[in-house]
């Protein structure tokens, strides 16, 4: 007879993910940290550097964009491509919103650089609009390119492993629309 309640129990040890892994699973936390760090990075590099040097400006811009796209990739890489449809735009909105709020705080305190001068409250709305448009557009474009690359690489790996039937089923499923179920 089968035992419904075993006489011996097994002690399971659950491991909590590392701090970076826990952070990467949380959409709001990743977006907020990214927005905060990027705005502070921008403020620091504009006030402590050589703004007349194209190498300095280009290098700091590259570091900032690399950080943004790395944080986005760390987050959406935990989920399937279907989840990217809503996670990437929400990440973009939360990240740019955080940057806008931090920019407002820095502007109010007189610490937000705008070229060679400090920004004033009248400069905040155009800056906020530009941040929102550039960040959302850039993140969505990057996510689209990344999704295409991931899809191609996954299919190539399936074919390379000799799992062509799985690759064929995936490609058929992505082409065919699921039939609407009638109640």
Q: Give the C-alpha separation, 181 to 63, whole Å.
A: 49
Please answer whether residues 164 and 158 qualify as being in contact, where contact means their C-beta atoms are separated by less than 8 angstroms: yes
Q: State pLDDT tens for residues 149-163.
A: 998 988 888 788 777
Q: State pLDDT tens for residues 27-59.
A: 999 999 999 999 999 988 888 878 778 898 899
Q: State pLDDT tens for residues 62-75.
A: 999 999 999 999 99
Q: Is the pLDDT of residue 183 over 50?
A: no
Please answer whether residues 106 and 39 qualify as being in contact, where contact means their C-beta atoms are separated by less than 8 angstroms: yes
**H-state helical runs in 27-120:** 27-47, 54-76, 81-109
Please answer whether residues 67 and 103 qualify as being in contact, where contact means their C-beta atoms are separated by less than 8 angstroms: no
The owner of tokens 């705008």 is 114
pTM, two decimal places: 0.79
């Amino acid at each position: 007879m089968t035992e419904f309640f075993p006489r011996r129990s097994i002690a399971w040890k659950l491991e909590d993910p590392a701090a970076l892994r826990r952070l990467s699973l949380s959409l709001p936390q990743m977006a907020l940290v990214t927005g905060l760090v990027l705005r502070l990075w921008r403020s620091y590099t504009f006030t402590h550097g050589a703004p007349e040097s194209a190498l300095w400006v280009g290098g700091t811009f590259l570091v900032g964009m690399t950080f943004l796209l790395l944080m986005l990739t760390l987050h959406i890489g935990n989920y399937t491509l279907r989840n990217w449809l809503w996670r990437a735009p929400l990440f973009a909105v939360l990240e740019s919103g955080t940057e806008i709020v931090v920019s407002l705080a820095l502007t109010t305190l007189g610490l937000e650089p705008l070229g060679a001068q400090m920004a004033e409250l009248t400069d905040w709305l155009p800056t906020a609009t530009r941040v929102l448009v550039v960040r959302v557009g850039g993140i969505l474009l990057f996510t689209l390119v990344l999704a295409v690359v991931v899809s191609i690489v996954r299919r190539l790996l399936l074919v390379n492993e000799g799992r062509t039937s799985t690759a064929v089923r995936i490609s058929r499923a992505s082409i065919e629309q699921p039939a609407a179920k009638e109640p």
